[in-house]
Amino acid sequence: MTKRFLLVIMLVLAVNLIFAGGIALSGVGTRAKAMGGAMRGLADDASAMYWNPAGLSFLEESTLSVGIHYVDFNGEWEDESGTMFENADVLNLIPSAVYTKICPDKPWNFGFGVYIPFGLSAEWDLYDMPETIPEAVIGMDLNGDGDMDDNIPLTWEGEIQENEKAGSLMVIDFHPTFSYQISEKLGVGIGLSIDYAHMAINMLDLHPLYQDYLPTYTQMEGSGMGYGLNYGILFKPTPCLSLGFSGRLETELALDGDAQIDTYINNVIGAGLGGLPATVINNNPDVEATLILPADYGFGFGYKIKENWLVSADFTYTGWESVDVIKLDFEEGFDIMGTPIEDTEMVLNWENTIRFGFGTEYVMGPLAYRAGYYYDESPLVDETMTVTFPDFSTKNAINGGVGYVINDNLCLDFAVEYIMMEEREVTEPTDENWLGIYNGNIIDIMLDLTWKF
C-alpha cells in the first residue's frame, strides 16, 4: 500500500530535527558522546564550544581535534494493512574539526570549530508502478462488456527509480567562540554559529483521485545560510564540583532551491486527458522558504568523586512549539493541468521536549573508560506523523567509549552509541499523518584524534 507524499516534505525534513534527535546528531565530541552528552556542567574539553562555551575559560592547553562520525539509521513502518516497509541502507560519514587557543596569563580564551551537528540520510522504497488499472478507478467500461470489473493493462514512458522516498540533510556549523574567566570559580562564554545547510530530497506525490495510477516524482535540492548564537556560564564552587547553564537562541535559516517534477501519465489516464500517449510531463519550479530553528537551554553538573573518577548529569529543554508551521513559496511552477502551483503551508504542531542524561569517566593509566545514558523525547505528534522523520518516538540511548593517551601531545578517543526508539502506533487518521506502527534504532560510532600544544 502506498501513501500520498506532500510537496512540503523538503522543508519538513530539514526542520524536523535540527537540535533534538532524529536526523540531528546527539552532540559534538567523542568523549562527550561516550558520556551520554552530559557535558553542560562539565565542559572541560574542546567540545565545550558546543555544549557550554564558558568551559573554554578553564582549559589549560590549546588543542586541535579532528574526527569522523558514522551514523546508521534503521527504521520500520507497518501500515494499516499490515505491510512492512524498511528504510534502505545509507552510508553516513560525517567529519569534524575543533580548535581551541589558550591565552596564558589572560582571562579570555578562543575557539573555532567546524562540525556537522545535523547530518543524516534516509531512503524508503514504498511504491511500484502498477501494471494494470481497474475500470472502476476511471469509471469507464473500456472493454465494452457491460460492466467495470476488468483490469486494463498499462504502459508507461520511463520508470520511477527505487527508493523514491529519500532525503539527506547536512548542516555545517562554522563556530567561533569566546570565553572570559571572571574569577577562579566563574567563567562565561558565547559562540556564533554560521550555518550552511544543504538538502537533497526525492519524493512521490500521488494524485488525490487516481492515486497510484497518476504519480508525480519530485527531486528537490536546496541550500541556505543562517546565523545562531549559543551562550553559557560555568561555576566551580569547589575543585571537585562544577555547575553549568547554557543554551541556544532561536535561529532563522533561509533556503533557496529548485525542483525537477515529473508527472507520469500512462496510456489509460492519457486517453482520458485528450488522447495523450504514455508520457512524462516535466516541470522545474524554484522554491524558497524560511525555517525557524527552536531555542533550547539546559543545566548540568560535573563531580569528581576521586582524582581519576568523575560523574556528570545534564537536562535540556527545547522549544519545538515555535516551529508550528512551514511556509513554502513556489515560483514559475505549474501542475499537469497548467495551473500555477500555489504557495503551500504545512501545519506541524510539534511539542516542546526534554532531554536528560548521565555520564561517567574512569581513568586507569593511559586509558579512560567512559559510559553514559540519555532519555530524549520526540517533538512529533500523532496528527502529523509520517516516515519522513527518523525521530519516530521517545529515545533511550546507551553510550560507551574509551580514550587512549598516546603521548604527552596526542590522544585517541572512541565512542559508540545505540539509540532505541519506543514503538509508536498511530491509529487516528488526519490529512497529514500515516497510520501504522513505527519502530527504529540508530547506531552511532565516532573516532577523534586530539593534539595538545
What cell was used for 210?
487516481
Residues in Cβ contact with 329 at an 8 Å cutoff, skipping those fewer than 6 apart: 287, 288, 289, 343
34: confidence class by pLDDT, cuts 50, 70, 90: very high
Which of 118-127, 240-249, 317-326, 403-412 shows the lowest mean pLDDT across its residues? Answer: 118-127
Q: What is the mean pLDDT of residues 264-279?
A: 84
1: confidence class by pLDDT, cuts 50, 70, 90: very low
Q: What b/e string do you get for 13-38 counting C-beta neighbours within 10 Å, with b at 16 or more?
A: bbbbbbbbbbbbbbbbbbbbbbbbbb
Which value, to the nearest 10 degrees, does the dihedral of the CA atoms of residues 339, 343, 349, 350 take?
Answer: 110
More confident residue, 95 or 410: 410
What cell was used for 314?
545534564
Q: Is the pLDDT of residue 332 over 70?
A: no
10: confidence class by pLDDT, cuts 50, 70, 90: very low
Q: How many helices (H) and strands (E) does the chain have?
A: 5, 22
pLDDT score recorded for residue 341: 65
More confident residue, 157 or 247: 247
Residues in Cβ contact with 40 at an 8 Å cutoff, skipping those fewer than 6 apart: 51, 52, 232, 244, 245, 246, 298, 299, 300, 314, 316
More confident residue, 388 or 55: 55
pLDDT score recorded for residue 14: 37
pLDDT score recorded for residue 401: 98
306: confidence class by pLDDT, cuts 50, 70, 90: very high
Percent of the chain at pLDDT exceeding 70 = 88
The string of pLDDT tens digits covering residues 38-63 is 999 999 999 999 999 999 999 989 99
Q: Is the pLDDT of residue 9 over 50?
A: no
Q: Is the pLDDT of residue 19 over 90?
A: no
Q: What share of the chain is helix, strand, coil (3-state, %, to 5)?
A: 10, 55, 35
349: confidence class by pLDDT, cuts 50, 70, 90: confident
Which of the 8 DSSP states describes residue 58? G
The string of pLDDT tens digits covering residues 209-238 is 788 888 888 887 888 899 999 999 999 999
Q: Is the pLDDT of residue 7 over 50?
A: no
Q: Is the pLDDT of residue 447 over 90?
A: yes
376: confidence class by pLDDT, cuts 50, 70, 90: very high
Around Cβ 149, how many Cβ atoms within 10 Å? 11
pLDDT score recorded for residue 118: 64
pLDDT score recorded for residue 25: 55
What cell was used for 46?
574542546
The string of pLDDT tens digits covering residues 73-82 is 888 999 888 9
Report the C-alpha gap between 57 and 77 in whole angstroms: 47
Q: Can you identify the CATH homologous superfamily of domain 9-448? A: Outer membrane protein transport protein (OMPP1/FadL/TodX) (2.40.160.60)
Q: Is the pLDDT of residue 208 over 90?
A: no
Q: What backbone phi and psi angles, to 5 degrees, belong to 232?
A: -170, 165
Amino acid at position 254, single letter: A
pTM beyond cutoff 0.85? no
More confident residue, 185 or 91: 185
- Range ranked top by mean pLDDT from 123-127, 327-331, 419-423: 419-423
- Range ranked top by mean pLDDT from 16-25, 74-83, 173-182, 382-391: 173-182
269: confidence class by pLDDT, cuts 50, 70, 90: confident
Report the C-alpha gap between 204 and 128 in whole angstroms: 11
Q: Is the pLDDT of residue 92 over 90?
A: no
The string of pLDDT tens digits covering residues 164-200 is 777 677 778 899 999 999 999 999 999 999 988 887 7
274: confidence class by pLDDT, cuts 50, 70, 90: confident
Q: What is the mean pLDDT of residues 22-32?
A: 70
Report the C-alpha gap between 429 and 451 in whole angstroms: 54
Residues in the chain: 453
pLDDT score recorded for residue 398: 96
Q: Is the pLDDT of residue 262 over 80?
A: yes
